[in-house]
Amino acid sequence: MSSDPGSREALQAIRALVQGELRAVDEAIRKGFHSAVPLVDQVAEHIIGGGGKRLRPLLVVLAGRACGSSESACIQAAAFIEFIHTATLLHDDVVDMSARRRGRDTANEIYGNQASVLVGDFVYSRAFQLMAASRSQRVIEIMADSTNLIAEGEVLQLVNARDPDTTEARYLEVIRRKTAQLFQAGAEVAAVLSGANTVLQRALADFGRHLGTAYQLIDDVLDYRSDPATRGKNLGDDLAEGKPTLPLIYALRHSRPEHAALIREVITNGGREGLDRIMATIESAGGLEYTARLAQTEAEQALAALAALPETPYREALAALVQFAVARKH
């Protein structure tokens, strides 16, 4: 593995272990996105062309192999997990009125909100077609429960938006539903399809939940401390949308009254006015360090969950994926 666990090279080294499976996942994704309706194909091609880390499919494939599955056992599951993720991104960009993602125009910016929502619905329903094809009642139960929790997380985030009184507990509940739940579902589904016992299924579900939480917390840090050109997003995007993420919530509680008043005003009204002062306040209050420490705690819990798995290169790769999640710079 790379000496820098958060580097692009480190992620490539992890992916190299299951390169053949990931190619098969990409083929399944392209095949699943295909539609007889040209506009669906156009939006889908735009999404596929946007790239992305594809961490969730990688997690599914690695988790399956760590449970002793064959190369082909989790290909379709990796695809439907990525479809659920893609559908939520399409809907998120409409809700947030986002114009850029991964350094490119969003689908709603190019094709309009109506097309983005409807194609998101298409991708979502295609995911359920693939789930049904697994012929596993347990897989369908996991995904039905997970997609419901994810939808609730989206609504909770909407409730928290522009509310400076959002607590840390309320915020963590959002990310555990909205982000971590899909990581959890992907790892657990992989264990089920691999024929793993219930102990391993539970261990991988715990692993996915903690990994997903750590990943989102680091995203919150990077919203105030990253290179926009590399990350494909502007600094302070969450702040501009009035989203009280953990660095802001912590800084609000641990700043001088005049600085706290500024944070409350910006959360309430959104926008980037005063961004430099807000960032300085978050830094001085220790908001980024606090969030990063919490991410590290979640990462340690994810690594602890891996102890239930047999020692294999795939378990080692899952551990490296945790290190990447918390050490990355974009």
The residue written with tokens 């522009």 in the block is 162
Burial of 72 (0-12, 13-18, 19+ CB in 10 A): exposed
Q: Has residue 232 got a pLDDT over 60?
A: no
Highest mean pLDDT among 89-93, 104-108, 187-191: 187-191
For the chain, how are helix, strand and coil distributed in percent, rounded to 5?
75, 0, 25
Q: Has residue 98 got a pLDDT over 90?
A: no
How many angstroms separate the CA atoms of 179 and 210, rounded? 10
- Please name which of 268, 178, 165, 274 lies closest in space to residue 220, comparing C-alpha atoms: 178
133 domain residue, yes or no: yes
What domain count does the chain have?
Answer: 1
Say how far residue 101 (Cα) sits from the centre of its chain.
Answer: 14
Q: Are 256 and 175 in contact (CB under 8 A)?
A: no
pLDDT value for 238: 80
1 domain residue, yes or no: no
299 domain residue, yes or no: yes
Q: What is the CATH number of the domain that holds 198?
A: 1.10.600.10
DSSP 140-176: HHHHHHHHHHHHHHHHHHHHHTT-TT--HHHHHHHHI
Q: Has residue 1 got a pLDDT over 80?
A: no
Note down the domain range covering 91: 8-327
Q: Which residues pair with 105 in a beta bridge?
A: 100
